Structure 1
Amino acid sequence: MADGVRVPGLEGVPLLGSLFDLKADSLGTYERARQRHGDVVRISAGPPGLRAELYCVFSAEGAQRVLASEAGNFRKDNAFYQELRDSFGNGLLTSQDADYMRQRRLVQPLFTRKRVDGYAGAVAAETGSTLAAWAEARDGIVDVSAEMMHLALRAVSRILFGADVDATVGVVDRCFPVITEYVLRRGYSPANLPRTWPTPGNRRAAAALDELYAVCDEIIAQRLGARAGQAEGEDLLTLLAGARGEDDAAFDPAELRDQVLVFLLAGHETTATSLAFALHLLGRHPEEQARAREEVRSVLGERVPGAGDLERLPYLTQVLKEAMRLYPAAPVIGRKAVAATEIGGHTVPAGADVIVAPWVTHRHPRYWKDPERFDPDRFAPEAEAGRHRYAWFPFGGGPRACIGQHFSMLESVIALAMLLRAYEFEAVDREVPVSAGITLRAEGPARCRIRRLEGTP
């Protein structure tokens, strides 16, 4: 039994605690909690009898304990993860224990650096399509948030489904917002009606899930049939269908769909967020933009970038890392404590809902000087070497760290390099309001004025 002192609580209103603050601005509420009470804070929300208590851990040292050194004590057993499972299946993001270990063993060979590097051409092709669409408008204004969401969705769909990309993009674009809003509403509600009850919200979500499942199941059936006929393919779904464990075990069709849905969810929204805010931040900081563009042009000239260019574009990588510091795609990560644990001198009780918050830790003045300032040089090698490993953790950490880290960086560097080489960006919206959904969400446009640069391919 941990013997630390009781965790201090954030002040709230009588009866409902911090419910309205969390609903209005959860990220700002977490930041105020750290400023007022330190690195471990308890936040209560909801009426008596339905009250939730969140134990928030804001230090890098605490995040390391929750995600890595004591990861076995902090599980994905909270209500939010259950809602994710009920909608997006029991894939790598949501599975646990033996299920997770089996899935990870089957999927890991498909995410080696060599295999992921082979997806560079698909990313470059989809970025080229975006540039072609922008060229028709010449010097106009684009919402980089919406544009990068479209680009990232097409890229991950092409990598997953190959020639079937057009059959899926429209369905995902139409159905995902309905499903994610449904998951969020139920995941953070103190009480929910059964999903089977024919309420308007349940019926809308069920229709979206049916449509999404149907298109995935159809493509999966085609892939499995093609494999039976010895047809070969290099898209990720074909590789997933052919993955085998040590006991020759494979994914069945339902498990394949679970993995596909998780890859679609995690594979496009996260990368889109990083790209959009990198462009918007560069649009507000012309000197850093010019420096990044000069690096791109000196390294690439007019050729299409490939996987080998990642190491040759260190400043561009620093720009992306700084964008992910200020706007982490996963701003809050939840767990449930199995046993009472002492963190930062305070007792987190058994059964507690625990969150670590990259949004807050990435702005912690203990690790970051002038934390709200955009400064890619924070990620120069010498600066990174002197910082705590968990002062920056946009991909999580420990045994459940994101399996797609390298893919996300590959896609982001290639796309950003091609966009900066072709266009100059000037931010129109100086500030972009955000909220914590399943991933970080822009609550307004992130518009940039774009100007086509002469002599670009």
Structure 2
Amino acid sequence: MATTTGAEAPELAGRPLLGSLLDLKNDSLGTFLRAQREHGDVVRITAGPPGMRATVYGVFSAAGAQQVLAGESANFRKDNAFYQEIRESFGNGLLTSQDEDYLRQRRLVQPLFTKRHVDGYAAAIAAEVTALTAEWDEDGAFTVDVLQQMARLALRAVARILFGTDVDAAVEVVERCFPEVGAYVLRRGYSPLKTPRDWPTPGNRRAAAVHQALYEVCDRIIADRRESGRAPGDGQDLLTLLAEAESAEDGSFSATELREQVLVFLVAGHETTATSLGFALHLLGLHPEVRKRAHEEVDRVLAGRTPGAADLDSLPYVTQVLKEAMRLFPAAPAIGRRAVAATEIDGVTVPAGADVIVVPWVTHRHPAYWEDPERFDPDRFTPEAEAARPRYAWFPFGGGPRACIGQHFSMLESVVALAMLLQKYEFEAVDTEVPVAPAITLQAAGPARCRLRPRTA
């Protein structure tokens, strides 16, 4: 065990019997915020009854996040209880794999996520936005839940890019099954005593049924694609390219590995973008002065035409709106790791084997980096303002060697979709507060309704 000279981490006060278990279950993000406000940037939090008590070290500073995710990333592994539950639900894809498995998968997938390749998906994204707005009633003002609608848009967009024409069957199954899988993972992740998954409890049986439905739709589409006799290079959907990914060093993906990558891309590729877009629209609905600036930029740059990948650099304020929405509502609000060896973070000792959580939800509100942190202000993300902050004061896509491989895709989809929606509509928020709770990604715990009015030329 490594020798450290750091101080002992302060401990967040909890209940005598259960520690902070109920606080974490009921409001983990508020609990992490309270820990930072009361005790500083590295805090020990204990949860569970005696004999089954778990301890986690919350890390809240930008420097601490950088150390865990980048500078000492080899010392912080995805070995905690939540990642194990995600691994058992979705398989050993890019999100959960480690060591040589991860490096092999990343090498096979990386060529499919270059900027040039991803930019080619802009037309498919725009087509899905057009299809969505065609479904909306445009005879005067109408009200929609923007988070719900953006979840459907993002899912259809990533399904189209993954599967090509095989969209509808996948969308129906994912919409039905993903919320149940997320709730199951969360329950088991927080439970100090887990029943084996193969025990025939009602919860396990429901989870097995939705897992099987997800596996079957992915397996069917993969099998159909492989049996179609398509010549290499004929299609550009991501599934085809994943099936063809091959190298002398790494081989290619088996059918099971393909399914695992597809499931990870579906969950990570739609829920994260949906969160960013939905909260950006809701925040614009609350802030007419910001919305006016965004409308003016979209009208000036696009002059009514459909945006493409080449327009991203010409829409800096729309991008700033999205980045500020991701600051306040990061799709991955907490990121867990487990320390291999003892180390020091911000002068505090973290022992070997400790569970560590870096928390964008807290770091993105840290008063050392953000003045009046709860205020929505896209001007925090001008180039000058970004350059003046620590690199990891804002990290919605994680960081280091495990940073999200799809971050350019997410930004492309978000900017294209937001620009198109701003071209067509005025947004006014109906719900002024939207409660949230973390699952696999950040989830709304209530509606985020906006009243939309078609814009007149």
Contact 1:341–1:348 (CA<8 Å) still a contact in 2? yes
Alignment of 1:31-430 (within 5 A): 31-136=33-138, 138-227=140-229, 232-247=234-249, 249-430=251-432
Could you report, residue by residue, the CA deviation over 1:123-152 in whole angstroms, capped at 9, with x for unpaired residues?
Answer: 100111111112356411110010000000
Contact 2:25–2:190 (CA<8 Å) still a contact in 1? no
SS state at 2:213 partner:
helix
- Which amino acid in the other structure matches residue 2 of structure 1? T
TM-score by structure 2 length?
Answer: 0.98
SS state at 2:15 partner:
coil
- Which amino acid in the other structure matches residue 102 of structure 2? Y
Q: Would the alpha carbon gap of residues 192 and 380 (structure 1) be closer, same or farther in structure 2, given more than 3 Å must change?
A: same
Taking only the aligned residue pairs, the percentage that are identical comes to 71
Q: Distance in 2 between matches of 1:207 and 1:174?
A: 11
- Which amino acid in the other structure matches residue 362 of structure 1? H
Runs of 4+ in 1 over 4 A off after TM superposition: 227-231
Q: Would the alpha carbon gap of residues 145 and 52 (structure 1) be closer, same or farther in structure 2, given more than 3 Å must change?
A: same
Could you report, residue by residue, the CA deviation over 1:206-251 in whole angstroms, capped at 9, with x for unpaired residues?
Answer: 0111111011001101122235665821100000000012336100
Q: 395-404 vs 219-228, which deviates more?
A: 219-228
Q: Distance in 2 between matches of 1:398 and 1:246?
A: 27
Could you report, residue by residue, the CA deviation over 1:307-357 in whole angstroms, capped at 9, with x for unpaired residues?
Answer: 001000000000000000000000000000000011111100000000000
SS state at 1:169 partner:
helix
Gaps of 5+ in 1: none
Could you report, residue by residue, the CA deviation over 1:237-271 in whole angstroms, capped at 9, with x for unpaired residues?
Answer: 00000001233610010000000000000000000
SS state at 1:15 partner:
coil
CA apart distance, 1:195: 0.7
Could you report, residue by residue, the CA deviation over 1:348-381 in whole angstroms, capped at 9, with x for unpaired residues?
Answer: 0000000000000000000011111110000000
CA apart distance, 1:290: 0.7
TM-score by structure 1 length?
Answer: 0.98
- Which amino acid in the other structure matches residue 440 of structure 1? L
SS state at 2:440 partner:
coil
Could you report, residue by residue, the CA deviation over 1:248-299 in whole angstroms, capped at 9, with x for unpaired residues?
Answer: 6100100000000000000000000000000000100001001001100111
Q: Distance in 2 between matches of 1:75 and 1:56?
A: 15
Q: 293-302 vs 100-109, which deviates more?
A: 293-302
Q: Distance in 2 between matches of 1:422 and 1:80?
A: 41
Q: Would the alpha carbon gap of residues 137 and 181 (structure 1) be closer, same or farther in structure 2, given more than 3 Å must change?
A: farther
Q: 429-438 vs 136-145, which deviates more?
A: 136-145
Contact 2:426–2:452 (CA<8 Å) still a contact in 1? yes
Alignment of 1:25-36 (within 5 A): 25-36=27-38
Q: Distance in 2 between matches of 1:69 and 1:39?
A: 17
Q: Would the alpha carbon gap of residues 231 and 246 (structure 1) be closer, same or farther in structure 2, given more than 3 Å must change?
A: closer
CA apart distance, 1:2: 1.6
- Which amino acid in the other structure matches residue 346 of structure 2? G
- Which amino acid in the other structure matches residue 13 of structure 1? R
Q: Distance in 2 between matches of 1:137 and 1:350?
A: 62
- Which amino acid in the other structure matches residue 106 of structure 1? L
Q: Distance in 2 between matches of 1:295 and 1:219?
A: 41
CA apart distance, 1:187: 1.4
Q: Distance in 2 between matches of 1:443 and 1:293?
A: 29
Q: Distance in 1 between matches of 2:5 and 2:97?
A: 32
